Structure 1
Amino acid sequence: MVKILIAFIVVAGACLYLLTKGGGDVSMTGESHSVESHAPAAPAAQK
């Protein structure tokens, strides 16, 4: 059981390290419904 806990901590630490060092714009705060989180919609073509 202790080995599983240690392995989980190691894998979780490696994942967090890779996410922070990956250079991507990763948000760990959950769902975001603000205007800044989405690109503006393209206007519909009118005939």
Structure 2
Amino acid sequence: MFQCINTIEKIFLRKKFSCEKNFLAKIKGIVYIKERRKVFAAFFQFLK
């Protein structure tokens, strides 16, 4: 019985961890896109 609970806990922690990783990846992606937009905006201003 204890082994079963331990396994469920591990799966739960792994899922939680992967969710947090995905969340961080999304935040990083949003920040990255915003930074890229700034660079592109500056570049287009330069072209004009």
Structure number having the greater helix percentage: 2
RCO comparison, higher one (Cα < 8 Å, 6+): 1
For the superposition of Structure 1 and Structure 2, which TM-score range results when normalised by the shorter chain?
0.3 to 0.5
Q: Which has the higher Rg, Structure 1 or Structure 2?
A: 2
> What is the TM-score of this pair, normalised by structure 1?
0.47
